Structure 1
């Protein structure tokens, strides 16, 4: 089976693995309310490839990051552990589109836009599972809670920073969530991958930052020492690349 086919299956499982077990070892508190809204700025910082068409089909969200300037998430329903967002995309061509997103904070099917409020250090937020019954994917645990300076004051923040070995290629992910609300305030990822047996290589780096909200939770201070160290860990492998450019699609 070609790697591209396996990666397509991987993408689907990572985004919506609805058969995985729920996380039951914590009291899952919802930290947001209906009507809360959160405004994000997505950025595709780097796309580097002379061979691979942009974007690879299992990384379609990179095109969203490249072609949108803002993404607004508004809580429209909360039922048990399930939070429903109305998501409005503000595109660079001046148009807007709206969709909905359901996040279950107590199961793997969540895309990690929001997690439980006031979770302790070491809390499991995504259980282990087997990809295609062949590759074990480890559980994900909060690394730590740190204090981040924002324009509205100091906020306690949960951190998940990890590497994923996907078919012998390393993808690096960093997440920050406001501890009181559980809402994601920062997400970054980067990777260099060889797409298939033809050795088609690509590199990418992207980030999503919370820049405004109805709750007062906003982007962390990117000059703060804790965030700076994380960003250094993310960007140092990237600066060795020869070209740093943002693709433009017609």
Structure 2
């Protein structure tokens, strides 16, 4: 099984690397994947460092990782060295302390999904997305203490933050290598729509379903991307 995480044992403690698309191979319908992550996480004790460089992926996979890190008995230091976008930004919120490289980025946006069916199915999908957005905002609000109305607007706008902007808004605590905790306001970078859409589409089969059974199977395996 190929995983999107790997552990490194160093003299100063354990280091977890989260690279690539979250649950790139499998997560839904595969109890082995979250169980394997938890087994690796709990294989040892002590403080850990989590390096993140990920465009995001499955929001429920990210939620499970977030919960595991929040419950971990040691200190969890999150360091973003490339990008913590979409679902990866949710995982970053689990850090006891969140540090960002001065050349790294963070992105938050509304959850997305794909749905098949009539108008009633579309309405159910819309309601599901609204609830998922609320759950994601819970993690952002807990760390940033920003009003939910502002968080909702930032997600609507598909907002990109450089390190200083992330610290300014409360998504991160410090800029790596500088010790800056209260930087001057910075301007967010532009949203790269094609990158997010391409990441989203990779989660689904390349060929359309052939029959009702395939449609149901696809429906059952719909993956939310945050």
TM range (shorter): under 0.3
Task: Please report the TM-score for the alignment, with normalisation by the length of structure 1.
Answer: 0.26
Q: Which has the higher contact order (CA 8 A, sep 6+)?
A: 1
**TM-score for both structures, normalised by structure 2:** 0.28
Between Structure 1 and Structure 2, the one with more helix by share is: 2
Decide which structure has greater strand share.
Answer: 1
